[in-house]
Amino acid sequence: MNPLTLSSTDLAARAGNLSPVLGRYFERSWSHGEGHRLYDTDGRAYLDFANGIAVTALGHHHPRVTAAIHAQVDRLIGPTNAMGFAEPVVRLAELLAAALPDPIDTVMFLNSGSEAIDGALKLARRVTGRPGIVAFRGSFHGRTYGATSITSSSLNYRAGYEPFLPSVHLVPYPAAYRLHGGDEEAATAASLAALRDLTATTIPATSVAAVVVEPIQGEGGYIPAPLPFLRDLREFCDVHGILLVADEVQSGYGRTGRMWAFEHAGIVPDVVVMAKAIANGLPLSAIASRRELQERWGKGAHGSTYGGNPVACAAGVAVLETIRDEGLVANAAERGGELTTGLRALMAEDDRIGDVRGPGLMVGVEFVRDRATREPAVEAAEAAMQRAADLGLLVLSCGPSHEVVRWIPPLNVTAAEIAEGLELFGEALRTT
């Protein structure tokens, strides 16, 4: 490991040229990562169950990914799309097509989740010839203008940015715990009723190009949509010729114990948007759909200078091969079961925890002031997260007022590490 030039104190003191607009969970300085540990600049190791928000899903400095990156850097960094074909790009597209359900077989590579969401909105409008976009309250789809227009997980992501993209309509997400006393049927019925009401009173369904949904809301608070809701949404889109766009940026790539979160509902969306874990840390995203849709989108209708960079795609190939060869989707399901059981045991002893939810390794722990009123306990969640970090465990908050502590362990996490994380979190709860 090369020694760092700046000490942790120097780093923090010299960060004054960095924009204050970026939110940070911690005021810590990081040196390097190895496996499932992130090291601060004082050499202290932290069990990393945050993974840069679901990005380094195979852990840090993964040998196979690192070797693939090194090899590709030595061979060819650019050119990208506009010049023709490069092997890692073609191979990643093949592997992704194999990892997606039929008839999804075509991918367009971009650089970030937001950019891919914007691309999916453009695809939907161009292909259907319709203007309307429907999305769900509390969702997070990114920071570019299109993505911001359909995001409402926090007012801070919208305030002062109007006017947004026109013809966007937000309807309630079926957030059972928060809005319906935990009743998933009521949550499903209410969201579908709002959707039907929208298309009966505000915009005809024949003018809606796409419904964009996170099968599990991420930034919004780790809230899984009830599976019947996703099936009904699929049917609604089928009936009205609307494209169903699944935002799998946070929930995809094996995280939930299935390769894609929509698979839990047994549905196939028209468009799948992915990013984050796709290249274990290098910038890369993709819009996937059946070929016919991207053919109708039209040559040159969208593009990107850097999208599908060969180095990022080489990392992406190594990520998908590792997930496949090491059975990591099954590992996420198994370790996720242990995690949820352990968190529920902690919940039984601590009434600040109102809910533990989410499949696989995408688990949210919601803090409440009172289990009956479900009023968010923002300070308790923040205190638990910061105390956990002091003790050597990295977990992050999410939710409209950051009342949920989310667990995003790497897909190759071990049972011993899950036990260690639970032990540290239990200690954090006992001491805050």
Ligand X SMILES: Cc1ncc(COP(=O)(O)O)c(C=O)c1O
Spatial distance between the Cα atoms of 403 and 148, rounded to a whole number of angstroms: 22
3-state secondary structure of 37: strand
In the region spanning residues 135 to 154, those forming contacts with ligand X, defined by CB under 6 A, are: 140-143
From the CB of 102, what's the least distance to ligand X, in Å? 24
For residue 431 the two structure tokens come to: 């001491």
Is the bond preceding residue 79 a cis peptide, omega within 30 degrees? yes
Q: Name which of 195 and 275 has its Cβ closer to ligand X.
A: 275
Which of 59, 88, 113, 409 touches ligand X by CB under 6 A?
113
In the region spanning residues 245 to 284, those forming contacts with ligand X, defined by CB under 6 A, are: 247, 249-250, 275
Window contacting ligand X (CB under 6 A); options: 32-40, 89-97, 244-252, 414-422: 244-252
Which of 50, 99, 117, 282 touches ligand X by CB under 6 A?
117
Contact flags string 336-375 toward ligand X, x per CB under 6 A? ----------------------------------------
From the CB of 191, what's the least distance to ligand X, in Å? 18
Where does residue 68 rank: exposed (0-12), middle (13-18), buried (19+ CB within 10 A)?
Answer: buried
From the CB of 416, what's the least distance to ligand X, in Å? 29
Window contacting ligand X (CB under 6 A); options: 30-38, 134-142, 184-192, 313-321: 134-142
From the CB of 306, what's the least distance to ligand X, in Å? 13
How many residues are there in the chain? 432
Window contacting ligand X (CB under 6 A); options: 110-118, 259-267, 346-354, 370-378: 110-118
Spatial distance between the Cα atoms of 43 and 8, rounded to a whole number of angstroms: 10
Q: Can residue 286 be called a binding residue for ligand X (CB under 6 A)?
A: no
Spatial distance between the Cα atoms of 327 and 316, rounded to a whole number of angstroms: 16
3-state secondary structure of 76: coil
Neighbouring residues of 266: CB distance < 8 A, sequence distance ≥ 6: 227, 231
From the CB of 117, what's the least distance to ligand X, in Å? 6
From the CB of 107, what's the least distance to ligand X, in Å? 16
What are 287's strand-pairing partners? Answer: 108, 273
From the CB of 214, what's the least distance to ligand X, in Å? 5
Spatial distance between the Cα atoms of 213 and 273, rounded to a whole number of angstroms: 10
Residue type present at position 82: A
- Torsion-angle region of residue 233: left (phi > 0), alpha (psi -120 to 50) or beta? alpha
Q: Can residue 80 be called a binding residue for ligand X (CB under 6 A)?
A: no
Q: Name which of 54 and 198 has its Cβ closer to ligand X.
A: 54
In the region spanning residues 13 to 32, those forming contacts with ligand X, defined by CB under 6 A, are: none
Where does residue 24 rank: exposed (0-12), middle (13-18), buried (19+ CB within 10 A)?
Answer: exposed
Neighbouring residues of 164: CB distance < 8 A, sequence distance ≥ 6: 145, 148, 149, 158
Q: How many residues bind ligand X (CB under 6 A)?
A: 16
Which of 218, 221, 257, 269 touches ligand X by CB under 6 A?
218
H-type helices in 251-377, by residue range? 291-297, 310-325, 328-349
Of 295, 257, 251, 255, residue with least CA distance to 273? 251
Window contacting ligand X (CB under 6 A); options: 80-88, 212-220, 341-349, 379-387: 212-220
Q: Can residue 219 be called a binding residue for ligand X (CB under 6 A)?
A: yes
Tell me the residue number closest to ligand X, measured at CB: 113
Which of 112, 294, 340, 397 touches ligand X by CB under 6 A?
112
Spatial distance between the Cα atoms of 237 and 167, rounded to a whole number of angstroms: 17
Residues that bind ligand X (CB under 6 A): 53, 112-114, 117, 140-143, 214, 218-219, 247, 249-250, 275
